[in-house]
Structure 1
Amino acid sequence: MKPEHYPQAPAHIWEHFYQFTQIPRPSCEEAAVRQYVIDQAEARGCTWKTDSVGNLVVYVPASPGREGDGTVIIQNHLDMVTVKTEDKAHDFSRDPLQLQVVDGWLKADRTTLGADNGMGCAAALAVMTDDSVSHPALELLFTIEEETGLGGAVELDAGLLSGTRMLNLDTEDWNELYVGCAGGGGHTFRKQYPTVEAPELAFFHLNLKGLSGGHSGIQIHEQLGSAIKLLADFLQGVEGVQLSRFQSGIAHNVIPREGDVWFACPASGAEALAAHLDTLTGHWLGYLPQADHGLQATLQPAQPCPVLSPADSTAVLDLLAVFPHGAQSYNLAQPADLVDLSINLARVELADSALFMESSLRFFNYDQSLPLRRQVESLGRLAGLEVTSEGGYPGWQPDFDSPLLAQGKALHERLFGFVPEVKAIHAGLECGILKSKKADVDILSFGPTIRGAHSPTERLQIDTVAPFWQLLTALLAEM
């Protein structure tokens, strides 16, 4: 059911977006939402094709009289990040999202909203279903598995596309036009440790929650707290600590917002743990941004269980302490929030004596990323871990001479009275991959304002959707 005050205009885009929120669409589970798009296409008499991995292209004929204007690609991804708060009962593979309108923002009840990139998908469908929109022939490209490593774009059969101009609708700051994005890659680390019984020790469970979390690209410069780093910080101050389990992080592109660790220590030091935690929590709140001030840390006794040796526990905690996380360098020629190079220590799991870690890095210049790659690989090897380099993807090098950018800037100024900011984004848009597959394509990216992407605080600023739609449709009318 639509919430009270759900937006009504522009009608087509808001109706399609609502339908997207009611269809579960985690990465790798896009079949149902892809079928919704196909049903809409067939209802309009449009043809469509999928490639071998499940990417979808819908072919929309030109408006009458526009047949000779050249084909335009509109590109978005079907999947969404699936994150919820601990107290929210929600199955992302089955349940529709529960929407709320709060102070001019559309959000979901304690889950991600999927405006990233559902609003862009809705806009593409609205162009197809709204007869008032004048446009050339269109190829509506809907990719899959973007949020788990841009797998759909990597495997895309570019032969399905003929257009040489592309609008990507997957950026999240209205009144800004984007002409570049970061590339990326990552690593996984594994090691099996022996365990021992330690009946003479005192056992504890530490739960940490309430951090903001968020997008590991566009929010990495905000210095948001990492649950992994904070848990490790606490444990390094526990004398004689022995690890049993460690669980934090959910995906390579999400800053870890909560976590749990089970550990043991000598009973003689157990009484000092609560005071140690209170002291550290005060220190953390002294430097973490306001968005993280919902931090809660709960320490409770736990049942005895097998643990790593003191030496192995120290080795794991030392690795977490020195492992890089956050922005590594900035582009000084651009605004200060444009990060050139970053890394996200995304996941740590220690269970049944097996350690698994995952990190992801983002860059504009691949060569600049190489020392950081070698650094994390060296750290893994020094700790005796099996290190695997995960498949990377290219960036989209900024093109400030793009004809499509010039057209978009001029149109924005005519419509809204000022020139928009032109930026590159420190996130893995699919544009870099698509550009590598179709070198002749000119790309421009823009979208309405979204905040808190990849976290349960994700929200869409309602009053930016109408002007976003106005720019999109006016641009298509001119192209």
Structure 2
Amino acid sequence: MKPANYPLEPAHLWSHFYQFTRIPRPSGQEAAVRQYLVDLADKAGYSHRQDEAGNLVIRVPGSAGREDRPTVIIQNHLDMVTVKTADRAHDFTTDPLQLRIEDGWLSADRTTLGADNGLGCAAAIALMTDPDVVHPPLELLFTVDEETGLGGALYLDASLLSGTLMLNLDTEDWNELYIGCAGGGGWHFARSFSEDPVAAELACWRLTLRGLAGGHSGVQIHEQLSNAIKLLGECLRDVPGLRLASVDAGVAHNVIPREGVVEFAVPAGTGELLAEKLEALRQQWLAYVPGADAGIELSLETAVLERALDEVDSLRVLDLIAAWPHGAQAYSLQQPADLVDLSINLAVLRLQCGDLFLESSYRFFDEAQSRPLQHAVLALARAFDLEVTPEFGYPGWQPDFSSPLLERGCVLHEKLFGHRPAVKAIHAGLECGILKSKLPNVDVLSFGPTIRGAHSPSERLQINTVEPFWQFLTELLAEI
């Protein structure tokens, strides 16, 4: 149900966003929400086209007297990250989100909210449905499959678009204008190990780690949020006679792993000694992990296992976890200290029936700066006999501080709110980089209301930033 204190203004935007929270939209399953947009366009009598990738463009004529102004592309992605806490029963393919409001923030009950990028989508549709908005001709671009590799933008048919200006509504800090974003790439790694029967004299255990914040592997990587894969490896390091049976940690290439489970066998009595060690280890972590990870929990319970890796291969997996790079690798020398130039995320690790799968992704502003990191990762893969499958490469968006659209935005922001906005680049893979490579003559600006905890169950939207965001968007369009 809609919360009793659900925001009312701007009415069209909030109404459309609520509908977005009712329609499941995981990456690759955007058909239902796309149909919602098509139905709105048909009702209004506006033309629309869809390419083979599933991207949708709705053409909205300019307001009276503005039909001949430059066409502006309003760009957002339809899909959302689907992450929940372990104790939350929620099916992202069928269930609507359960919204809640607390202390001025809108969130969902122990799941991602999808304000990334549903709020921007709602704003775009509100431009079409709100008769009070004055605007030039618009091309409302809704891409698909952004969260799992920017697939919609990569395969966009750029001939659908004619605009010379583009507003991307997919950044997460109000009072900031973005003019650059990171590029990136990644890999899948695999290897098979042989398994042996677990001897009767061995004790079998299941170690569960939960309570970390998790989060976006781009915009939050500088926060040094803990990685569940790394911590689980640390828990089991130096456990004598360890034989790994399974590992399950991480959900996607762009999410910092927040929880995980490891099953293993050890000599009798070893598990009890490990249980005594875990609380001391947790207290050690609390001395240096960020406050967002203060809820970390470790639990150890008995398990029933039939087969496991031998001790040598088990140690090899733990060595792999320990050696794999994760986190910020270089910081910008020009921008504020929290802007990361180069990073890597140890995103997913699974071991099942002897089959190991690892996923890792990296981000950069200058692709050349990332090459030594890429070489180091591929060297690790060779050293550990991993099969490598490259995944999802995409270009960055190089900042243009001379952009006329940027200057117009800065002047308007100061006029409306009494101060110039911060001008930044973002260490995340906005679709702007890809779209700019397809539409090189388009002037691009990105902004949005404040969102925290994107890509995690703590995702939340600061309600009082939405109205000024909407005012800025509509008045910027009225000036074009």
Q: Distance in 2 between matches of 1:281 and 1:202?
A: 23
Residue-by-residue CA offset, 1:356-401 (whole Å, 9 max, x unaligned): 0000100000001111111111101100110122130000001111
Equivalent residues in 2 for 1:163-182 (5 A)?
163-182=163-182
In the alignment, the residues of structure 2 paired with residue 132 and residue 291 of structure 1 have an alpha-carbon distance, to the nearest angstrom, of 42
> Number of residue pairs matched?
479
User: Distance in 2 between the 1:48 and 1:59 partners?
Assistant: 6
Match of 2:217 in 1: 216
Q: Distance in 2 between matches of 1:478 and 1:304?
A: 67
Distance 1:217 1:43 in 2: 39
1:55-454 to 2 correspondence within 5 Å? 55-199=55-199, 200-454=201-455
Residue deviations 1:314-351 (CA, integer Å, cap 9, x gap): 11110110100000000021111100000000000000
* Code of the aligned partner of 2:79: D
Q: Which runs of 5+ in 1 are unaligned?
A: none
The Cα shift of 1:305 comes to 2.0
Q: Which amino acid aligns with 1:385?
A: L
> Partner of 1:287: helix, strand, or coil?
coil
Counting aligned pairs with the same residue, the percent is 65
What residue ranges of structure 2 are gaps of 5+ in the alignment?
Answer: none
In 2, the alpha carbon distance for the partners of 1:189 and 1:26 equals 24
CA separation in 2, counterparts of 1:76 and 1:335? Answer: 26
Instruction: Give the whole-Å Cα distance in 1 for the aligned partners of 2:90 and 2:198.
Output: 38
Deviations 1:175-200 (A, max 9, x none): 00000000010011100100111312
CA shift for structure 1 position 282: 1.1
Letter of the 1:273 partner, please give it: L
The DSSP-based 3-state class of the residue aligned with 1:271 is helix
The CA deviation string for residues 15-46 of structure 1, in whole angstroms up to 9 with x for no partner, is 00000000000000000000001111111110
AA aligned to 1:126 is: A
| Cα offsets for 1:58-116 (capped at 9, x unmatched) | 00000010011110000000000000111111100000001001110011011000000
Instruction: Determine the C-alpha separation between the residues in 1 that align with 2:271 and 2:447.
Output: 54
Shift of 1:271: 2.7
Instruction: Give the CA deviation at 1:269.
Output: 2.5
Structure 2 matches for 1:40-55, cutoff 5 A?
Answer: 40-55=40-55
Partner AA of 1:193 in structure 2: F
- 2: CA distance, partners of 1:191 / 1:433: 32
CA deviation after TM superposition for structure 1 residue 268, in Å:
4.2
Structure 2: distance between partners of 1:294 and 1:270: 23
> Deviation of residue 277 (structure 1)?
1.1
* 1:425-469 deviations in Å (ceiling 9; x for gaps): 000000000000010000000000000000000000000000000
Q: Deviations over 1:154-175 (max 9, x none)?
A: 0000000000100000000000
* 1:291 aligned counterpart, secondary structure: helix
In structure 2, how many angstroms separate the alpha carbons of the residues matched to 1:110 and 1:300? 24
User: Alpha-carbon deviations, 1:182-231, whole Å to 9, x = none?
Assistant: 00100111001001113122111001100000000000010011100000
Cα distance in 1 for residues equivalent to 2:180 and 2:238: 43
CA distance in 1, matches of 2:455, 2:167: 23
Q: Which moved more, 1:198-207 or 1:402-411?
A: 198-207
Distance 2:299 2:459 in 1: 25
TM value normalised by structure 2: 0.99
Q: Report if aligned partners of 1:21, 1:97 keep a CA contact under 8 Å in 2.
A: yes
SS of residue matched to 2:287: helix
- Whichever residue aligns with residue 64 of structure 2, its letter is P
